[in-house]
Structure 1
């Protein structure tokens, strides 16, 4: 449910969020990462409930055309003007830039993308949309040209943009000739071969799609013929389904009548426990903790400049690790990478081994950093199961010295530090003379 609206809301957005029965087959496919999402214009800038008018309507109004021409034919008419193609691209760019300048546009227009983002098991999206919202909101890598296919396996999450991208004007598919060239590329080219492979191997979820793109329907028809009826079950998500039109599609499409964004938000709820999908709230806790650690780090750095107590060297490194972990968690939140409980678990254990190895080799500086980094990820995991869970220590070291505060660290007798700790601190202090007022800073490397 759209949280900014009440349960009783009957607006255009909420009225589309119809309750539905989630097919167990589809849940299994999503959980196993065996789906590809096909996203049409209805999920984004061309949804009439999200903006005053569609691009089609704007062009139609400017041409003062009363005829309901197919989209490519209308774009043909617009481009027939002097400098028409350039004017069309400028219009599209202005339209997107305008939407991007207002949160009241961009938030509802990217709701679908934000619903997909934490579903880390969904790695492949195909879209007819020109906007770059999948790239901006979910950190998907765009695949537009045949030459891009060479990097397919190097990408963790991919969006195949079969009608081009606003980030490259020359790639946009708009006119009749564009559509003809696009069909030839998809039918005969390497990127098209990859698209056919996805459709043949995975369960396709269509949403925001009107089943009116003749090019894609022709492609589907060819695939269905080649597969001799052995295509996997596909699903069609829409708040209003024309069952007669759906039945005329070249492949079998199981209908689910609801809003596309709501569908994937529901999928997250359904799969949260089964797939270990971390909630959004722990990320908010990470942002709060980051502010606290940054403040503690600033005070620790000031104290180091004044006193140069050797214990502060390792506390600073621990805090660097904790800060870097929290920063990366927040920066990579949109990728879904840190929404996976199992993935975060694996990283925590990996850093635990690093702390042990570095401590054995008497590299306390790097061990402190690894401990801080591990602590940041452990905090995310703990908050995923308990919002009231404890806050990790802001002052800590990877050797047998208990530190609870900055004042406690400053009072700790230097001679009681382990000999290997004092030796490494001495080497580091030589690189940070007191009169230079330099602070040891650990970069995000180990």
Structure 2
């Protein structure tokens, strides 16, 4: 696909997304990039702070999930959540993007963020969403829009961050996992606020590939990025279509 062909693809994809929104089969996955404009740390900034706490000024090349688990093991659960609550302060406010997204009244708004900014945006805008932060919440959800915090919340102290959390995800969140996997079969899915190196995206891609024969294209939005043919083709083979919005 050359640049000219990609431009046609991009315009068609945007039309497909608008159609899915109008017909109520659009679901959005929202990552840490959505909350960055509210003054919360990015994933990399959080990891750097944790690494410094563990190792001082020494630079350590280490898997992020292993680093989080070492931090947990070194300082214990209470301090682990205390520090994360300091990093991700409760006094931050939702930004315009949070508010614009919740006002779409999506069928499913799924976030891997642990903060409560989407909940605040829902209250600020007078929207109604079923808020799902743990498996037990699914049974009480009605037919309205759903905010699914697929990696838990700091408030409930059930976040997915450490390597063990990812490895045991199917055991700890079986109902949420199965619900989200089903979304890929029924909805058009858009990923926002993620980098392609994000472990959360890797988890999502794994789910996409497990349902490769029965899903619609999954779109990932990259802001202020130009078309990269090699990158586009690589993820296209995984049924992830990157929308470069310059």
- For the 8 Å contact 1:185–1:192, the answer to whether it is kept is no
Any stretches of 5+ residues in structure 2 without a counterpart? 1-9, 124-128
The correspondence of residues 2-151 of structure 1 with structure 2, limited to 5 A, is 21=11, 23-45=14-36, 50=39, 54-63=45-54, 64=56, 65-83=58-76, 85-97=77-89, 99-100=91-92, 106-107=93-94, 110-120=95-105, 122-139=106-123, 140-151=129-140
Query: What CA distance in whole angstroms lies between the structure 2 residues aligned with 1:199 and 1:82?
Result: 38
Question: Which residue number in structure 2 is paired with residue 175 of structure 1?
Answer: 162
Query: What CA distance in whole angstroms lies between the structure 2 residues aligned with 1:94 and 1:252?
Result: 38
Shift of 1:67: 2.1
Shift of 1:164: 0.8
Query: What CA distance in whole angstroms lies between the structure 2 residues aligned with 1:253 and 1:220?
Result: 8
User: Which residue among 126, 145, 148 is the counterpart of 1:157?
Assistant: 145
Using the size of structure 2 for normalisation, the TM-score is: 0.78
- For the 8 Å contact 1:233–1:253, the answer to whether it is kept is yes
CA deviations over 1:259-314 (Å, ceiling 9, x no partner):
8xxxxxxxxxxxxxxxxxxxxxxxxxxxxxxxxxxxxxxxxxxxxxxxxxxxxxxx
User: Which residue among 164, 169, 189 is the counterpart of 1:204?
Assistant: 189
- For the 8 Å contact 2:30–2:194, the answer to whether it is kept is yes
Query: What CA distance in whole angstroms lies between the structure 2 residues aligned with 1:201 and 1:165?
Result: 26
Any stretches of 5+ residues in structure 1 without a counterpart? 1-19, 101-105, 260-446
Shift of 1:31: 1.5
Shifted more, 239-248 versus 22-31: the winner is 239-248
Shift of 1:245: 4.7
Q: Secondary structure at the match of 2:97?
A: helix
Shift of 1:71: 2.1
CA deviations over 1:199-246 (Å, ceiling 9, x no partner):
11000011112233243332222222xxx2x31122111123766455
Query: What CA distance in whole angstroms lies between the structure 2 residues aligned with 1:155 and 1:92?
Result: 33
- For the 8 Å contact 1:183–1:215, the answer to whether it is kept is no
- For the 8 Å contact 1:135–1:141, the answer to whether it is kept is no
The correspondence of residues 232-243 of structure 1 with structure 2, limited to 5 A, is 232-239=216-223, 240=225
The correspondence of residues 312-327 of structure 1 with structure 2, limited to 5 A, is none
Query: What CA distance in whole angstroms lies between the structure 1 residues aligned with 2:187 and 2:62?
Result: 34
Query: What CA distance in whole angstroms lies between the structure 2 residues aligned with 1:201 and 1:52?
Result: 33
Task: Say which structure, 1 or 2, has more relative contact order (CA 8 Å, 6+ apart).
Answer: 2
Q: Secondary structure at the match of 1:97?
A: coil
Q: 1:68 to 1:26 in 2, by over 3 A?
A: same
Q: 1:174 to 1:128 in 2, by over 3 A?
A: same
Identify the structure with the greater strand proportion.
2
Q: 1:74 to 1:204 in 2, by over 3 A?
A: same
Query: What CA distance in whole angstroms lies between the structure 2 residues aligned with 1:82 and 1:61?
Result: 14
**Shift >3 Å, 4+ stretches:** 49-53, 183-186, 240-251
Give the aligned CA root-mean-square deviation in angstroms. 2.7
Question: Which residue number in structure 2 is paired with residue 272 of structure 1?
Answer: none
Q: 1:252 to 1:87 in 2, by over 3 A?
A: same
Query: What CA distance in whole angstroms lies between the structure 2 residues aligned with 1:52 and 1:151?
Result: 32
User: Which residue among 201, 207, 211 is the counterpart of 1:219?
Assistant: 207
